[in-house]
Structures are given as C-alpha cells and as structure tokens.
Amino acid sequence: MTDESDGSGFPLIGDQFPELEVETTHGSKTIPDDYEGKWFVLFSHPGDFTPVCTTEFVGFEQRREEFEELNAELIGLSIDRVHSHIKWTEWIDEEIGEDIGFPIIADESGDVADALGMVHPGQGTSTVRAVFIVDPDGITRQVLYYPKEIGRNIDEVLRSLEALQTHEEEDVALPANWPENENFGDKALLSPPGTVEEAEARAAEAEAEGYESYDWWFTLKEV
C-alpha cells in the first residue's frame, strides 16, 4: 500500500487518494485504480450489526441509483471480516428488504482505516463515520467526519457530489444550501475577478449574459 497524500496520515482535499489493495464483499480491488474514470464515495462505519450503521447502509442502498446516475460508485468499510459483512448484509436483506449492492471493504487489521484517518482518539478502536468523495482522476475532493453517535445525512453526500460536478462542468462556486438557497434558489456564483480590469468588465459581462449581479465580486448565473 502506498500513500501519496501530504504526509498528514490521511488524504486531504486536493490530495491524490492513496493506492489501496483491499478485500471486499465483491472480491479484491485496487483503489482508486479500479474506479478510474468514475467518481466514488468511500464511507466507513464503526461496525457490522450496529443500529445506526444499519440505517445508513439501508439509506445508501436506497439512493445507490442516484449516485450511479452521477457516475459515482459507493464503497463501504469497517474493521470487520468479509464473513461478518456478508452475514450482516444478509440480515439487512432478510429483515429490512434491502439487498446491499455495493462492495464493503474488510479491514480486520485496521491498516486501511489508519491510512485514511478513520480511527480517532477517544473513539475506541473502531472507525468513525468518515466519507471521502474522490473524482475520476483519483483526487480527493471532499472529506467529511461524523461521530459514531450521529448517522450521516445522505442527501448532503449526494448534494456535495452534484455540486462538485457542477463546479467542474460550469466553473462556478455553489452557495449555501444549493440548489435550494433561501435567497438565490439554484443559481451558481461566478468566481470574483482577479484583476482591476476584470472587475471593471464584470458589470458589462453580467448585462450581456443576463447574470444577476449585485456587485463585481458577487454575481450569479443559472446553471
């Protein structure tokens, strides 16, 4: 296993995601190479057969097609064996009626969790609820951490993925609560001009393109 992050012990935003050879419920995988050309969302859970984690896995599975429509794959992880993952997902299928269709990494040694900064002081030896969103080039684009006591908001993970892709496609930034901002709806923000000349030209650009401009540094457009 190689780690190409900045040396902090886990990949930060903008870092190349470390190369990981892992065993999963779908067989051996090399991450991120096996997902080249796709986005992926890798998320950890503290343990199999635990209530909050079960609700999360059911929630992710129920939204899996939405992730796939955004060219993104889901990958789970905990410090459990493959056999435990298989029995747990069988229980979820039998008792809740959801067939978990994404792979779950078996990390009994904890090596993967350590490489990704998923084991935090004061939280025991199991992983916290970490989320890594990684782009088709293997670059870490977003990192989220939740405590063990709080289940993740899957809407927010999907929103973040869609926002990152919109940024890539449109070269814009996205406001708070996008695409349902209380004041600006689903509009996006243009990057502020970087020079005096660009700032002076922004008003004319906004008028010509039909942008909603409050000032040279605060301009919105439809996406």
Q: Which of 53, 75, 79, 190 is catalytic?
A: 53
Cα 53 from Cα 126, distance rounded (Å): 12
Cα 34 from Cα 3, distance rounded (Å): 16
Q: What is the DSSP letter of 32?
A: T
Q: At which residue do the structure tokens 């004061």 appear?
A: 122
Q: How far is CA 172 from CA 3, 111, 175, 187, 211, in A?
A: 31, 37, 10, 10, 13
Catalytic residue at 53?
Answer: yes
> Minimal CA–CA distance to 96: which of 48, 47, 154, 57?
57
> Minimal CA–CA distance to 1: which of 21, 15, 17?
21
| Residues belonging to the active site | 53
